[in-house]
Amino acid sequence: MSFTIYVTRDFDQMSKVAADVVQADVVRKQAAKEEYVLGLATGHSPTGLYRHLADAFNAGRIDPGRVRSFNLDEYIGLPGENAPQRVLNSESFSYFMVSEFFSLLERPFRETNVPWATLVDQDELIEELRTHPDSFEMRGTDKGKAVVISERAGGVLTSIKNDVLDAYRRKIEAFGGIDLQVIGAGGRGHVAFHESGIPFDAYPVLLVELDEDTRRNAVADGHFPSVESGPRYAVSMGAELVYRARTVVLVASGARKTGPVCESVLGKVTCDVPISYGQRYVEDGGTLVYVVDEVAGATLLERRAEVEARGYEIMDVRDEPYPSVAALFFSRTPASGPYDR
């Protein structure tokens, strides 16, 4: 079992520490095998990490040509007449990854992958759901729900299940699974578009009807002019698939993340807080790392004794020099363990 929580001063130190942890893992595993599989996330939280990681790749400390990446999620319903136009839309996660990370690399990764949600026409999906209610089940206890497609389904739904959801999972598995997955913490403790209340066993790669709060927040953040004009659906790895990675690194900063971060560590394992699945992951032998700023980690510091009583380690590195952090962690973490697969 390995769960280490780094509490850092601010976003900049958080980003550097997280990048050092990722770099150390890549270095160690590239020494043992030809190809490294890196799981990536979108959103503001990992952007600083990506800048530091690009510097490491460009300096030759790690080899981008031996890295294959898989992202967590992508919208359905972006503006565009066809899949290429939707991929190139400025609000697509494909576009985000190019602008925030991939374009910073002097040499490209061997391959990059984002869930193939842009292959889906949202209007066709909505019509199929309206006319074939017996072809799917809505699963979830809150406003965001998973659309679980029946084996009896046909048409568009079968195509989505086979060619988008299952195909993405199979491709990840074909390359041996993800070595390290970067994630953020949603405001309600969700991971990617595994929304609060969606059961952990809903499906490995989810077709999600987005939570109304998620859609409103996208408008408030300036991504879409109105709720009506923004995407209603998305494709996302489910929490159970996210936490199959050999190592998971969560980054979080700011007051909106304080509650979910604490609940995920000290609360019960519940799909109401999907990142709480990390507790189960650690019990099963996974390596979990939280890198949070002092605001997001404030409650964990206050309740440090409770955290440590669970066998988790808090490292307050706000006054530590950058190089010591990742080196200290990996000097005490085995290269492989029961969760290695």
In order of their start, the domains of the chain are 2-331 (3.40.50.1360)
Question: C-alpha angle with apex 109: 251 to 91, nearest 5 degrees?
Answer: 60
Buried/exposed code over 268-307 (b: 16+ C-beta within 10 A; e: otherwise): ebebbbbbbbbbebbeeebbbbbbbbbbbbbbbbeebeeb
pLDDT of residue 229: 84
pLDDT of residue 338: 42
Between strands 313-316 and 233-237, the pairing is unpaired
- pTM of the full predicted structure? 0.94
With contact defined as beta carbons under 8 Å apart, do 50 and 103 qualify?
no
Question: Rounded to whole angstroms, how far apart are CA atoms 291 and 16?
Answer: 10
pLDDT of residue 176: 97
pLDDT of residue 325: 59
Question: Rounded to whole angstroms, how far apart are CA atoms 56 and 212?
Answer: 39
pLDDT of residue 341: 40
pLDDT of residue 1: 60
Q: How far is CA 300 from the centre of its chain?
A: 22
pLDDT of residue 333: 55
Ordered mean pLDDT values, 10 residues apiece, the chain (341 residues): 93 97 96 97 97 98 97 95 93 97 98 97 96 96 92 92 98 98 94 96 96 86 87 97 98 97 98 98 97 98 98 93 58 50 40
Question: Rounded to whole angstroms, how far apart are CA atoms 56 and 211?
Answer: 37
pLDDT of residue 152: 87
